[in-house]
Amino acid sequence: MREQPEQQAPPVQRLRIRYAKRGRLRFTSHRDFSRAFERAVFRARIPMAYSSGFNPHPRISYAGAAPTGSASEAEYLEIALAQVVDPAGVHAELEEALPPGLDVLQVVESPGGSLADRLEASHWTLDVPTAPDTTAAAVEGFLAQEAVLVERMTKKGLREFDCRAAVVSLAVTPHEQGSRLDLVLRHSTTPAVRPDDVLRGLRETAGLETGGAPLLTRRAQGPLDPETGEVGDPLA
C-alpha cells in the first residue's frame, strides 16, 4: 500500500503583497512571474507554509493578474507562512530577491477573508498615438452605445461579448504624442473585459486605430465605490 503523504501544519500567518510590473518585465506572463516569485521566496528564506499531498508546494494565492504585455502598479497576491514574521522584513527580502521591474510595493498582514473578493474593479491608463480630439469623439460614440460586441480568443475558443457593460468611466486627456485614455473597468463580467477589448470596441464603433502596441498600465485595483466610481485600496 502506498504511504499516505505527510500532512502539513496549518499556516500561522498570512501576508498580502502588492507588486508592480514595469518596463520590459511587463511582458512577463503570469506563469513566468509565479516561477520567479517562488524562486524569490526560496532565496529570501521566507518560512512558507506548504500544501499537503504527494507534491507539496508553497501556499501562494494570486489574484487578478494583469494581461501579459500590460504594465501594472497594482498586482496582488497572498502568502501563507509557517512562522510569524515582520511584514517589513519580508518586503525588504523580496525586494532584494526579485529582479528590477518586478517590484514589491507593499506587504501587510491579512485581516482574513478573500483577497480576490476585494478586487472589484481596475483603474487603467491607455496611451495611444491618436490626436485628443479624434480620440474624444470616438469615446463619446462608444459611451453612447448600450452594448459594443467584440471578439477575443479565450481558453474556451473564440468568444463574442459586450465590452461596454464593464466600463464604469472612460475619459481622454492629451498626452506626449497623442492621447491618454483614463479607464475604470468592473471585474464582474464573464469573460472579464480587458483594456485591449475596449480599444477593439473603439475601433469597431468609431474606426479608431490605436497602433500595434499602445502602453496599457493598471494604476489601481480594488473595491469599487458605487457613488464616485473610484477604485479603492484592497489592503486598507
Q: What was the pLDDT predicted at 48?
A: 97
This prediction has a pTM of: 0.92
Taken in order of first residue, the domains within the chain and their CATH numbers are 13-117 (3.30.70.580), 119-222 (3.30.70)
In the predicted model, residues of the chain with pLDDT beneath 50 are: none
Place of cell 503523504: 5
pLDDT attached to residue 2: 60
Q: How far apart are CA 40 and CA 42, in angstroms?
A: 5
Q: What is the pLDDT of residue 219?
A: 98
